[in-house]
Amino acid sequence: MIPGYAPLPDDRRSRANYVQRRRIALAIVVTVLAVIISVASRGDDPSESSTSPAGVANDITQDSSSATPAFLPGSNVDKAPEIITVNVPTPPAGTVISGRASFIRWPQTLGLIPCATPHALLGAKVTVTNLNNARSIVCDNVSIESLGGGNTIIIHTDIFLDLADLVDAPIPVEIQF
């Protein structure tokens, strides 16, 4: 007998542990056998229809002479892909649109007088006229994203002050580009 080691008494707890260990061992043996059988059955004829894990039959036959995928280049790889040119028509010169204007502070103006409207081309010079007092400014369109709040144009805060006070925003305007 090993000194300091006493065998466990034969009570219900040790009996339950023994039964639990046997159950785990049996589950491991069954799992290993299932994996071996599964791997061995894959060596069958590949032309048979396969079954997906959900039990739905797939009638996919494997052909060694299958076509190349559509996304791979053909045999002539040296040729560069063709560049597609998309022409966007410019709005007619002298286009006038009525709407509402508000303001926003751009962090960096980079020497531009920034404004944003989806109606003019990017970089276009836009003339904005306040319909309440007839004041006007010319600004550079720096964004063509759609605007929220029913606004037609958003103008840099410092430039908006040339049209109206900030508390008057949004103001009715007419934009021309």
pTM of the model: 0.47
Q: Are residues 169 and 104 part of one domain? A: yes
Q: Are residues 171 and 110 part of one domain? A: yes
Q: Are residues 170 and 112 part of one domain? A: yes
Calculate the CA 101 to chain-centre distance.
31
The pLDDT assigned to 129 comes to: 93
142 within domain boundaries:
yes
The pLDDT assigned to 128 comes to: 92
The pLDDT assigned to 22 comes to: 87
The pLDDT assigned to 138 comes to: 93
d(CA 119, CA 141): 10
Name the token pair of 134.
């007839």
The pLDDT assigned to 82 comes to: 72
Please provide residue 121's backbone torsions phi and psi, each rounded to the nearest 5 degrees. -70, 155
The pLDDT assigned to 80 comes to: 61
Query: What does each of the 177 residues of the chain score in pLDDT, given as a tens digit?
Result: 556 555 555 556 666 677 888 889 999 999 999 899 888 877 655 555 555 555 555 555 555 555 555 555 555 556 666 777 766 666 666 778 889 998 988 887 777 888 888 888 888 899 999 999 999 999 988 887 877 777 889 998 888 999 999 898 889 999 988
d(CA 141, CA 125): 6
Count of structural domains, the chain: 2
Amino acid at 163: L
Q: Are 62 and 47 in contact (CB under 8 A)?
A: yes
Neighbouring-strand partners of residue 97? 175
CATH code of residue 131: 2.40.40.10
List the domain range (segments joined by +) for residue 107. Answer: 96-176
5 within domain boundaries:
no
Q: Are 120 and 126 in contact (CB under 8 A)?
A: yes
The pLDDT assigned to 55 comes to: 52
